[in-house]
Amino acid sequence: MQAGHFLNAKQEQRRLSMVTCYDYTFARLLARSSIDGILVGDSAAMVMHGHPSTIAARVEMMKLHTEAVARGAGDKLIVADMPFLSYRMGWTSALDAAHVLMSAGAQAVKLEGVDGHEDVVQRLVESGIPVMGHLGLQPQSIHAFGGYKVQGRGDEAAQKILRQAVALEQLGAFSIVLECIPAPLASEVTAALRIPTIGIGAGAGCDGQILVLQDLLGMNTDFHPRFVRHFLEGANAIVDALDGYDQAVKSGSFPAVEESYT
Ligand code: KIV
Ligand code: NA
């Protein structure tokens, strides 16, 4: 799957599935799945490194995760997040950051918002770098947004998101993530665009969906917002396995003779 195939999928009314991934082992599993695309999200800062927000992500961090994913992802589309401020200090430094991520194995980059960095989106696209937008809840702006809450409620806020989505399409973005906006607004944005929308907490009217891998695998029992479905109770399964190992070690049943060298 390539960025260009996203447009075909929308034209042919095929829904797109994406998940985040940050490491080689999971990338190998995703490569075996029918998932369409992988996002090396800056949520790595939280999920992999334990930071309280994505603001801690850096180009170097995204580079290491992108390289690891690329080694295992086979022919899956890999989109890498441009981290906090890396596209807000002019297009030359933004191109430097994108250069690092593309050299690390990304086939596209994603950045949040559009107002004030239209030139960056345009330069990236003109340089042959497919750009994914990200509107609605923008986690890198969490301090300005005042928390992780639904965006685009009310006419003015909804019109702003619609305007930004149209702007991104006109600047050449190949797709847009819509995060935590009312489902009717996401459907309206989706209908207004030629490029596919990928929703997270944005209802079923988007052209595709994305979830954080560890969320859909149920790895974090403390984090279960409305928009996350657990397709596995991963945390319980893993803790049970660890306790099974612990008991086997302590009872002396592990390792068995056939697990030992003669
Ligand atoms: O970093 C991330 O995980 C994301 C998705 C939530 C879209 O940007
Ligand atoms: Na992100």
CATH superfamily of 3-216: Phosphoenolpyruvate-binding domains (3.20.20.60)
Which of 18, 79, 81 has most ligand 1 atoms within 8 Å of its beta carbon, as the pocket-test mutant?
81
- What's residue 4's pLDDT? 85
Say how many Å lie between the CA of residue 41 and the centre of ligand 2: 5
- Classified as helix, coil or strand, 134 is strand
pLDDT of residue 1: 77
Q: Which residue's CA lies nearest to atom 1 of ligand 1?
A: 41
164 neighbors 114 (Cβ within 8 angstroms): yes
Residues carrying an active site annotation: 179
135, amino acid identity: L
Task: At 253, list the tokens.
Answer: 């049943």
Residue of 78, 9, 87, 82 lying closest to 39 (CA atoms): 78
Task: State both tokens at 26.
Answer: 């999971």
| CB-based contact 180:201 (threshold 8 Å) | yes
Residue whose CA is closest, atom 2 of ligand 1? 41
Q: How many CB atoms lie within 10 A of CB 60?
A: 9
Residue with tokens 């954080």: 212
ipTM above 0.85, yes or no: yes
* Structural element, H or E, at residue 197: strand 197-200
Model pLDDT, residue 118: 98
Report the C-alpha gap between 202 and 180 in whole angstroms: 5
Indicate if ligand 1 lies below 6 Å from the C-beta of 61: no
Closest atom of ligand 1 to 42 CA is 1
Pocket test for ligand 1, best of 17, 54, 197, 219 (most atoms within 8 A of CB): 54
Q: Which atom number of ligand 1 is nearest to the Cα of residue 198?
A: 7
Residue with tokens 């399409």: 169
CA of 126 to the centre of ligand 1 (A): 24
Provide the pLDDT for residue 2.
84
Question: What pLDDT tens digit does each residue of the chain (262 aa) get?
Answer: 788 899 999 999 999 999 999 999 999 999 999 999 999 999 999 999 999 999 999 999 999 999 999 999 999 999 999 999 999 999 999 999 999 999 999 999 999 999 999 999 999 999 999 999 999 999 999 999 999 999 999 999 999 999 999 999 999 999 999 999 999 999 999 999 999 999 999 999 999 999 999 999 999 988 889 999 999 999 999 999 999 999 999 999 999 999 999 9
CA of 36: how far to CAs of 131, 140, 180, 183, in Å?
Answer: 17, 25, 21, 22
Single pTM value for the model: 0.97
Q: Which of 201, 226, 231, 195 is nearest to 213 (CA)?
A: 231
DSSP assignment of 54-110, as one string? Answer: GGG--HHHHHHHHHHHHHH-TTSEEEEEPPTTTTSS-HHHHHHHHHHHHHTT-SEEE
* Gap between the Cα atoms of 93 and 95, Å rounded: 5
Measure the CA–CA gap between 101 and 220, rounded to whole angstroms: 28
Indicate which ligand has the atom closest to the C-alpha of 41: 1
Residues for the chain: how many in total? 262
Pick from 127, 97, 119: which is nearest to 110 by CA?
97
* Residue 81 beta carbon below 6 angstroms from any ligand 1 atom: yes
Atom nearest to 139 CA in ligand 1: 8
Q: Is 45 in the pocket of ligand 1 (CB under 6 A)?
A: no
Which residue from 223, 172, 230, 225 is spatially nearest to 202, judged by alpha carbons?
225
- In sequence order, what are the beta bridge partners of 40? 80
Angstrom CA distances, 123 to 60, 91, 164, stand at 22, 7, 18
Q: Is 41 in the pocket of ligand 1 (CB under 6 A)?
A: yes
pLDDT of the residue at 184: 98
